Chains A and B, each alone.
Chain A
Amino acid sequence: MLTFTIRRMLTSIPTLLFISIVIFGLLQLAPGDPMAQVPLTVPPEVKQKMREALGLGAPVYIQYLKWLNQFFIVEPQFLIDWMTRDSFLFGWLPDTQFSMVYDPELEKLVTQQRNISWQTRSPIMDIVIQRIPQTLWVVGLAYIVGILIALPIGIYSAYRHYSVFDQAGTFITMVGFSIPPFFTGPLLIVIFSVTLGWLPSIYDTTHVVNDWASFKYQLSQMILPVMVLALQTTAQISRYMRASMLDNLNQDYVRTARAKGLKEGVVVMVHVLRNSMIPVITVIALGVPSIFGGAIITENVFGVNGIGQLLITALFANDIPMVMTITFIFAIMIVVFNLIADVLYGVLDPRIRYD
């Protein structure tokens, strides 16, 4: 299992390189000049200097390697420095200063050049790290809520196969599967915040939770986006759960368990459920990155100030470094969660041996 994991991790390196080439190539091929916004009064030689300062004069492969270097070597150094300097967990360690380089002109340590956003002129990773908690709160919570709703629905509709509950459940999951989030979002806003006036329609990211009333407000503003995202998750996962339970309920070991006099609850909730969870858990792991991608729309509808919103605004502002970084972060998440799903499958199911 360990050798499989290591081999699998090694094979994901070329995958990541391929994706990085696709992202980089797409943005290289694309028309559009980052200097287009510079006023016409700026003389051409100054423009040329600005171009070189942005690294646009260098050959394409140099630009690509520099980008990779920034992403995989420089940014982690800053992360380690931040952890040993400011974070609670590792703050007791001596300050590492990996990200500092010696500048012979100034004769002291200066921080390295970081990948900056063309919109805000600040390091991209800092902005991304500010935005990620917003996304995680809404999307992550929605995913958990969706799973918690989906599992009992799936279990019960498989157990009572072809019952009214099963028919209704299948229909509702099909509907949830088919209605896109950019319709459920406005629909729920019309119902719950316009007509009924129960919940706020816009997610206020600056809201600080410090007492009971503000906590209640935070809860109420999270309900709508979480519901929209959870509907999608529920629909997908309960379908898988139901199919997987149905497969297992007809197995011989279930009859054996019943024959030796186990209670029905034990048979279903212990024997069948544990075996049915194996494929479902991998599906859950595989769904994590796609839910982040899908959250782009939900964040847009509710005005959640998350990473998806950041991607959209960066795209419209032609902020290419930011777009590359966020897209690549999404890609890394897909690769990592694919790896996790593969390994989990092997760990959970003893019948599967990769070696």
Chain B
Amino acid sequence: MARVSIILGIVFFASYLYAGPYSVPAGTKCDECGMTVDQNSKFISVVTGKEERKLFFCDIGDMLYHFRSTGDEIRSVSVRDYVTSEWIDDRNAFYVMNKAFITPIGWGVAAFSKESDAKQWGSPVAFQNAFSLIKK
């Protein structure tokens, strides 16, 4: 019985560690501001950094600020489409800043999978240029 418990424990721990980029464990804190990341928010982002470390952000603006200030390596970024809430890859996302977006930390940045949707809210930019959207 003890062996089974240990094996199950290892399996659960391993699955937690290697969970996909789209699963945000409950109670996860934002790596920039320390706020608990709302799993259902349209503004959260998951970043795979150096050594495959996963970073979670409650607000896309926090993620952009974090990597602009630290200059850390980014391997992949997953954000949610503002319209559908589907997870999208940073390479396919269009970022827009608009004060109408009520984001957790007030950065007002949202991601869209379709450029036409993004244009309805402002001037969309690609991920590489999204860092210029945020001001300290």
Bind each other: no
Binding site for B on A (CB under 8 A): none
Binding site for A on B (CB under 8 A): none
